[in-house]
Structure 1
């Protein structure tokens, strides 16, 4: 077919306008004229379509024009949208998809075209080379469509974007450049797993790092043109292509410095009264976008970043080591930070992931093909450092496994070993000596399952079968505990004083006890061990009751419970290993000791601390040993056989203590203080065994709780100002993974109120999660790290969560 010249294209457009009774638009005529000029100058002959002033009336003539572009002398077509749009999203997609080979740049604002436009774009894909979506409304990125020609994707300022779906990026084999500045992405594990599916990715940024000259000014001209030798991936400040194109459209390649460097959150005007929360759990969110622009509640306290560091001198300290210890100014959205070169640079518009400890090293170690991160080149020394840091602070796979294993191969090896063992060959037994540990194969299987997906299954529990209760009113859980011997049972107490025993596998209610005005918010729960059908519940009004769950039947409301003497302002209860004694603590300096069999208070242990005692815990095996944690920053070990005013020992945290618990074998104490101060102590004398060094947020209200998982192999930790559960090795402190809890809509911030490791299932836990807004209900979410999240996310939706007194109890 003969090549169609620009004049013929213009004639075709004008004829189509006549047929449809439409006046030709200057937008198209001007674009064709400038294409002729470029041809005359021997430049790249591109057709730049500015969408702002086009309407649906212009659609058909423009579609007729573009349908012949692939056979014309036009070399590239760009679609640009600045700030307004009258053309429907369906029409825009049809125009772009009419071009099969020459679609180059698509630069749009998705808010102008709506939710269906964005979903269609992500699911079906585009043939463009560059996709620039300013302030996109993606919430969970799931770009599974065919983007096989795309080499650059820019989603900067997408303030709704929190995470990636598991199949995201599966059809982008040629993507080289990806920019995600000032999003809400925070999880290192799911992010690196998603990005690892991009085989060609060489340049990535989550923040905009700009080099400074000797005077402290940015090495970018006043016109916003970056130094091409240092940053050839940008065109006049835009993150577009590997090499700058010779395009003189000022409106297309205007300086992005006003957007990326000069943007100040004080200049963003929006009416807070119009903010609404989305009840939608879909992948996009158009409900409330701007209120999260500066992301202040996602960033740790790092106010010292206003200073410039000498890069060469500070490199030995570690980029993110310094960051974690120095706070970020709340009044500025920029910071200064060191890099591996002997230069200074300024970083601005950072996503929350940049504030994770060892963020840069983790990303470099995880993405082997990456050559540039946050505008900074990755040198050999950076990779060596990243490898060392990763090895010291992170676990690649559980139980120190260095490589991802295949489940089928592990099962095969187990069967082969069993066959050889039965044959009794001593020679063959020796060859399998490394597998002699009884837990070897179970651990290997767990590691293989975890390695197959970075997206664990999150399943919010819902309850069936409650004839005594108004089904229209949902439960408001405040505390929960797994059953000590029945793997299917769990009990939870509510803010309304109810005690509910459930089968968390079938999600059926087993027993239910209404409050009847006896209890307020249930803060303390503890099962008896020798009598597993009994449990103790305590509420914040001081009420203490022993329940027999077999008598908590629907026909006998109010029966099946034994009352204890009250303990005012209660926050915690615990029963000893012999099921003989009960301890209660609360908003006082005292601890009460009860006789389980009679409910009588035996003794009030007075003035054990200088401030109130949030949690008291008996040891798991010694019926007279218990520990207390107080907001006076002390943790104390006590023995009922000794004088009650003299602890066995006392140890201190730097902040008020929220939690303390014994390891299952009583060898360690796990202490959790305010704002992510988590330490493991030797139970025998209180000496420090391990400091987990979790980054603080700077909040004095960030109450942290930690528990053991998989026996005492791992520690899980979460805080009430954060939407993440951290999993660390209990022997090395190395981080295995973070689990992010996500609510509905960009305004639906969540937090961790309580959590427990499943005592019967490795790498399983439950989390009591809640939304910040007070009108919502809390919910117990089961987490299975050995299963994929895809299925559960499709069939279960989060309910709304509440914001109760999250500083109390365990």
Structure 2
């Protein structure tokens, strides 16, 4: 039985620290005494809003004393508002950590340092409630070995989870993250898969449910379904009936406070198929038949690993098999030599196996902003502001970017050194068009939105901003007003320019002379005109009139080879590396792949639309053309999809150093490195700057210690590629 000794100890400690006894603390100890006298489990509930800073030391002295051994559990609550200093709260929790059972810190303004200490230091509590806490990136890598319930509801700044944030929670069974900013379905599910005991999860809630368990209102219906299923599970009709009833119940099940992840297509199916031990999702139970259906749906729309690999392999295992001359790689379907990935024992096969192994172990890709390099700064510490960029077609270390101020910069993106700089190719203009020549690797064409077109030679460029001049400029082309894009053909003799007009211009690259102006090729402005990779005569135009047209310079341009239409305005089109396909991107994530030969639809990529008529989408092929990347100017995500099946492989979400979303303006696949790309991103704040971010899907962000950041504004986001 708990004696009055503990109360006496508290009073003595108050005198020792020259503190007035707190009546609330005395009442907590009295309640503990009553529990002890009734042979109940002896616990104490501490309300932080009834404490002052001065109360912490006496209270901690008592609870840490050996005479308080009868109190085996302490619950820490914040009911209304607390004026306690953060240091006092930390001191109290650390002092009584071994006895903590429930810690409820909802709505408490904790600060970054407090949260960092909490997440990295860990707690011994069983229930942790951090509702409405201001936290942007969850990184709970400390020891939470006893934790079985974690509540992060209404943490409206929480947007991402770090790779190992749940590594110290082997017994976590219940997790709630309603009304957060969590949106990355594939990455978040990868983090949750590290929780071996997770059985209840929710990103949205039933209105009547405060906890994560199954809604009580569904229990009667569940019982009927279970009885029906148990009568004869072998009958297909009964199984279909169970599925139909469950589907109807789910559609009628109204949820509230959803996080953005809930609006991802096939959200529930993907999570259920990925988290095999999950029993309840969003207060709705996961039935056996639903799980089987979810597996089929996920396999239809998502790719677990690239190149149809179904099981993760280590890099060492792949290399060993290569040395032994074996493959041992699992495919979803029996292999067919004429299908997508031939030659199981060839060099390409093992290269793809190596990529699959690396990507499978790198859920969080490595992101590296080019602004980390000193070359992005001009005199007086003014930063260069990229507006367009292109990889070099034959030198894997070079990249050129044009700026909002009309500058052209050639950089070695591997070591951060500036190779060449041109101060301005057109007065008061932004560079919207860049294209390297194919057979003259030192030359490129740059065009700005004021119509200026220049042929530049990097051999004549100065690597220093202060020493730069215009001596590197070769031919000067006739102006093309309101230019948005340009492209050089495969033989380097002709150049196409398009702009905010219904026609295009054809130039002779050697002389800079405009050969011909083709008017009224479309009913609305032509955003992009692109030559094929292997034919110097074939090119495609994409227009806001919803049409994409294929043209042949050997024929009269009075009539296109064919016309293909989208349901919305086309932002761009580009050829696959082998010129077999044309990748077309229309406003608001309408992305499809056409057959170059006749314009027939080959593949439609089912990317969810946002409903915005200003969400300009751009898509490109990655190295080799097996996968495409797609991003839109109103979204902070780049999606990677298989070019042959349309299945989603990965999503890459972008944010600045403060955890704020940044949005995709343009992107390119690295032509030399598998599953590498660069993204031109910007934020919405007018004072922000543009940023080029390199992305490596085969390396881990956490192991490399790199993070993406950069903020920028977004004028003319519909223009160019």
TM-score w.r.t. the length of structure 2 is 0.90
Could you tell me whether the CA contact under 8 Å between 2:537 and 2:552 is conserved in 1? Answer: yes
1:360–1:227 distance in 2 versus 1, CA, 3 Å: closer
CA contact 1:458–1:792 (8 Å) conserved in 2: no
Pairing partner for 1:454 from 359, 363, 376: 363
SS of the residue corresponding to residue 785 of structure 1 reads strand
- Which of the residues 201, 219, 230 maps onto 2:216? 230
Please give the per-residue CA displacement for 1:485-525, whole angstroms capped at 9, x wherever unaligned. 00000100000000111101011110100116546100011
Match of 1:624 among 537, 560, 571: 537
Equivalence for 1:789? 701
Q: In structure 1, what is the equivalent of residue 334 of structure 2?
A: none
2:308 match: 400
- The aligned counterpart of 1:560 is 472
Name the structure 2 match of 1:197.
194
- 2:212–2:282 CA contact under 8 A, matched in 1: no
CA distance in 1, matches of 2:376, 2:631: 35
Quote the residue 2:226 is aligned against.
Answer: none
CA contact (8 A) 1:46 1:76 kept: yes
Structure 2 Cα separation of the partners of residues 83 and 550 of structure 1:
68
Q: Which residue of 1 aligns with 2:385?
A: 476
Matched, 1:371 2:284: no
Distance 1:785 1:225 in 2: 37
1:395-544 to 2 correspondences below 5 Å: 395-417=303-325, 435-462=344-371, 469-470=378-379, 472-515=381-424, 517-518=426-427, 520-544=429-453
Summarize the Cα distance change of 1:539–1:709 in structure 2 as closer, same or farther, 3 Å threshold. same
Offset, 1:8: 2.4
Aligned to 2:577: 664
Q: 2:22 aligns with which of 25, 31, 34?
A: 25
Alpha-carbon shift at residue 7 of structure 1 (Å): 2.7
Deviates more, 1:113-122 or 1:763-772: 113-122
CA distance in 1, matches of 2:644, 2:242: 30
781-790 vs 53-62, greater mean Cα deviation: 53-62
2:713 is aligned to: 802
Alignment counterpart, residue 732 of structure 1, candidates 621, 631, 645 = 645
The CA deviation string for residues 37-65 of structure 1, in whole angstroms up to 9 with x for no partner, is 44455554321100013121111110112
- On the 8 A contact 2:214/2:280 being kept in 1, the answer is no
Task: Give the counterpart of 1:73 among 70, 75, 80.
Answer: 70
Unaligned residue ranges in structure 2 (runs of 5+)? 220-239, 328-341
Q: CA separation in 1, counterparts of 2:425 and 2:178? A: 53
> In structure 2, do the counterparts of structure 1 residues 719 and 178 end up closer, same or farther at CA, with 3 Å as the change threshold?
same
Contact 1:476 1:802 in 2 (8 A): no
2:47–2:77 CA contact under 8 A, matched in 1: yes
Residue by residue over 1:660-707, the C-alpha shift from the partner in whole angstroms, topping out at 9 and shown as x without a partner, is 000011000000000000000001111100000100000011000000
What is the distance in 2 between the residues matched to 1:611 and 1:768? 26
Cα RMSD (Å) of the superposition?
2.5
User: Structure 1 residues 666 and 368 mapped into 2: Cα distance closer, same or farther (>3 Å)?
Assistant: same
**Count of aligned positions:** 683
Match of 1:546 among 431, 435, 455: 455
Question: Secondary structure, in 3 states, of the residue corresponding to 1:112?
Answer: coil
Is there any run of 5+ residues in structure 1 with no aligned partner, and where? 211-217, 234-311, 318-337, 420-432
Contact (CA 8 Å) 1:519, 1:539: kept in 2 or not?
Answer: no
Indicate how the Cα distance of structure 1 residues 685 and 375 shifts in structure 2: closer, same or farther if over 3 A, else same. Answer: same
Q: Secondary structure at the match of 1:692?
A: strand
Q: Is the 8 A contact 1:340 1:382 kept in 2?
A: no
Q: Which fold has the larger relative contact order, with Cα–Cα distance below 8 Å and residues 6 or more apart in sequence?
A: 1
1:577 is matched with which residue? Answer: 490
Does the 8 Å contact 1:658/1:704 carry over to 2? Answer: yes
Which residue of the other structure, out of 349, 354, 357, is the alignment partner of 2:265?
Answer: 357
In structure 2, what is the equivalent of residue 185 of structure 1? Answer: 182
Cα offsets for 1:773-802 (capped at 9, x unmatched) = 1211111100000001025445x6634323
1:146-157 matches, within 5 Å, as 146-157=143-154
Contact 2:201 2:212 survives alignment (8 Å): no
Structure 1 pair 347/463, CA: closer, same or farther in 2 (3 Å)?
Answer: closer
Is 1:168 matched up with 2:153?
A: no
Displacement of 1:384 after TM fit? 0.3
2: CA distance, partners of 1:403 / 1:467: 42
The 5 A counterparts of 1:590-601 are: 590-601=503-514
SS, match of residue 75 in structure 2: strand
